[in-house]
Structures are given as C-alpha cells and as structure tokens.
Structure 1
Amino acid sequence: MKDIHVQSKVAMAKTLHAHGVNLPYIAVATGLTPRKIRSELKLAIKNKINKRKM
C-alpha cells in the first residue's frame, strides 16, 4: 500500500495531465520526479485499457 501523501500527489498528477499540463510543470506542482510521474501515468493508462477490454 502506498503512502497516502504519494497517492494524493499521483492523483493530482493524473488530473493535471488530463488537463494538458506538461510533465515539468506537474513535477514542480507535485514534488514528484518526472520518472515517478511517467511510471505512474503509464500504469494508470494500462489499467484503464485493461478495464475497457473486459
């Protein structure tokens, strides 16, 4: 289970990304590294695709 602070930052990163905010700005706003943001966004996209296939 992830820490609640990290979960909330990832949720904020997903929202910002959905609104078209660039990765460097998301990194500044959330305090997460660009690498962490990319990996979390990829995971979220994969989960969304897998749910649609079912």
Structure 2
Amino acid sequence: MKKFTLLSLAVFAMMSLTSCEAIGTIFKAGMWWAFFLIAAVIGLILWLFTRGKN
C-alpha cells in the first residue's frame, strides 16, 4: 500500500510539473537531504570521539 501511495504521488508530481520544474524540485530535495545527512554524520563522529575519551 505504501509503495502505491508513493507511486501515485510521483505520477501526480510528474503530471503537474513541467520537466524542468520536476528536476529542479528533485535536486532541491536532494540537496537538503545531503546537508541533513552530512550534519548527522559529523554529529555522530563527534559524539563517538567525545564518548571514547571518558
């Protein structure tokens, strides 16, 4: 059921946006996910280093 919902949202986005807008939206979302993941990895590394010193 979840896969169908994701597929239907993707199809709706493709139909409502032009190709350039859709690609731009995908890259913007990817950029924010990359920032979030980089910050999470750096935070995890710092947490592990400070935990190891105790």
TM range (shorter): 0.3 to 0.5
Rg larger in structure:
2
Give the helix-richer structure, 1 or 2.
2
Q: Which has the higher contact order (CA 8 A, sep 6+)?
A: 1
TM-score, normalised relative to structure 2 = 0.47
